[in-house]
Amino acid sequence: EIVLTQSPDFQSVTPKDKVTITCRASQDIGNSLNWYQQKPDQSPKLLIKYASQSFSGVPSRFSGSGSGTDFTLTIDSLEAEDAATYYCHQSSRFPWTFGQGTKVEIK
Amino acid sequence: QVQLVESGGGVVQPGRSLRLSCAASGFTFSIYAIHWVRQAPGKGLEWVAVMTYDGSIQLYADSVKGRFTMSRDNSNNILYLQLNNLRADDTALYYCARVDGVGAFDIWGQGTMVTVSS
């Protein structure tokens, strides 16, 4: 099973800050890495697919990068509405797996 | 409107069974693989199972293999997850999700809650 490790687990940030969340895979997964945002009592929403492709309708302040084992989700100029938990997810090999999540709190 | 709507959750005793449904609308259901993902209260996301567009292939997480079974009815745009021999650690919000061509979950349902408790 491919293990995805996100860091940090928690981040407290101020609006307009730049936020960087990393996801490290235990094996090479190429570009098969996706990012989701989940707000309290809501379903997850796709932000970035295939490591760096923005999903339709997602604000341009969200971007993804990386390949192989190391990936990054960046939020440029954070807005209050971005308070959420963010998950990475690999679809390279079954069983598909998720990172443990990174909670972003607004100060 | 493209959507998935889950139903069938509830409170059940350990060892009992439950069948979840996932109804699709707004897209051509019969050409998409659909997955189940669950989330225990206060915890992260866990992949559970997948069924291919035509039902020919199903894969399951080790934690549910032999107890959970997926099926689908493409003529009625509905997918099922049969949960047998339920355990306390199956307690979770169960989401069905559509997967796109690169393996990303692009559409999620709102989830249906399964609580296993005596």
- Here the tokens at position B54 are 């035509």
B61, B102, B109: residue with CB nearest A49: B102
pLDDT at position B99 is 97
- The amino acid sitting at A61 is R
Chain A residues 68-87 with a CB less than 8 Å from chain B: 87
Beta-carbon separation of B106 and A46 below 8 A: yes
Burial code of B14-48, b = ≥16 C-beta within 10 A, e = fewer? eeeebebbbbbeeeebeebbbbbbbbeeeeebbbb
Q: What is the pLDDT of residues B67-86, one digit of tens each?
A: 999 999 999 999 999 999 99
Residue of B nearest to A49 (CA): B104
B100, B104, B108: residue with CB nearest A43: B108
pLDDT tens digit at each of 107 positions of chain A: 999 999 999 999 999 999 999 999 999 999 999 999 999 999 999 999 999 999 999 999 999 999 999 999 999 999 999 999 999 999 999 999 999 999 999 99
Beta-carbon separation of A87 and B44 below 8 A: yes
Query: What is the DSSP track for B45-64?
Result: EEEEEEE-TTSS-EEE-TTT
Mean pLDDT over residues B30-47, rounded? 98
